[in-house]
Amino acid sequence: MYKLYSMQRSGNSYKVRLALAFIDAPYRAIEVDILRGESRTPEFLAKNPSGQVPLLEIAEGRYLAESNAILWYVAVGTPLAPESRMDRAEALQWMFFEQHALEPNLGAAYFWLCLVRGGRELQTHALDDWMERGYAALQVMENHLKTHEFFAANQLTVADIALYAYTHVAEQCDFDLSSFPSVRRWLRHVEQQSGFVAMDWHPTSSEYDTIDVIAGA
């Protein structure tokens, strides 16, 4: 069974929980509070030198970092990973887009405005840039979704999961989605897919282990 080091309110961690829910894969979740420095302890850095979540332990001592790499790992052989060469490349195209255009802006705004007390005051100098570049990324997504139901392969894939994670919290961190109707339609469409779980969901049913605090894991 996978062991997933993640933080409940981290969008990058949510991507992995969402993918595992869509494919109904059991796993043990270990909560890591990055705000308390739990991803920067010597023990955690030995597992992931980047000091970040999510981190998936695939087998004893075998770790995989980077949310989108983890998405590919868990999705291979399931409907979330497209089969054809071109569909795969298009899914990857959107996942790279997510990491360079969306996450650095919406993810940063979400972190500082929603998770860090006083974050808005600490980051006033950066906020305008995040908003401008974040809106530019949302416009690219809007343009694609005007004529496509999903991002790649005409079906729900890991590309949608990667992009959903921070887009669905955009309005919590000052982004106004009213002029992005196709993005809003796509968000609702992802939420209607069988197996969808919300960001605050965590695995606690008997087939899963309960969440541990990293110190006790």
Ligand X SMILES: N[C@@H](CCC(=O)N[C@@H](CS)C(=O)NCC(=O)O)C(=O)O
What residues line the site for ligand X (CB under 6 A)? 10-12, 34, 39-40, 51-54, 66-68, 99
**Which of 80, 67, 75 lies closest to 165, judged by CA?**
67
Report the residue number whose CB is nearest to ligand X.
52
Between 36 and 148, CB nearer to ligand X:
36
For residue 4, the surrounding DSSP H or E stretch is strand 2-6
Phi-psi label, residue 77: left if phi above 0, alpha if psi -120 to 50, beta otherwise: left
* Diameter over CA atoms, the chain: 49
Between 98 and 142, CB nearer to ligand X:
98
Between 52 and 157, CB nearer to ligand X:
52
Strands 62-65 and 55-59, bridge-based pairing: antiparallel
Nearest approach, Cβ of residue 37 and ligand X (Å):
8
For residue 2, the surrounding DSSP H or E stretch is strand 2-6
- Residue 206 structure tokens: 């008997």
CA 4 from centroid of its chain's CA atoms: 13
Nearest approach, Cβ of residue 185 and ligand X (Å):
25
Give the whole-angstrom CA distance, residue 123 versus residue 174.
14
Give the whole-angstrom CA distance, residue 118 versus residue 159.
33
Nearest approach, Cβ of residue 178 and ligand X (Å):
26
For residue 58, the surrounding DSSP H or E stretch is strand 55-59
Between 6 and 145, CB nearer to ligand X:
6
- Residue 98 structure tokens: 């997510």
Nearest approach, Cβ of residue 109 and ligand X (Å):
12
Nearest approach, Cβ of residue 13 and ligand X (Å):
6
Nearest approach, Cβ of residue 46 and ligand X (Å):
15
Between 8 and 182, CB nearer to ligand X:
8
Between 11 and 134, CB nearer to ligand X:
11
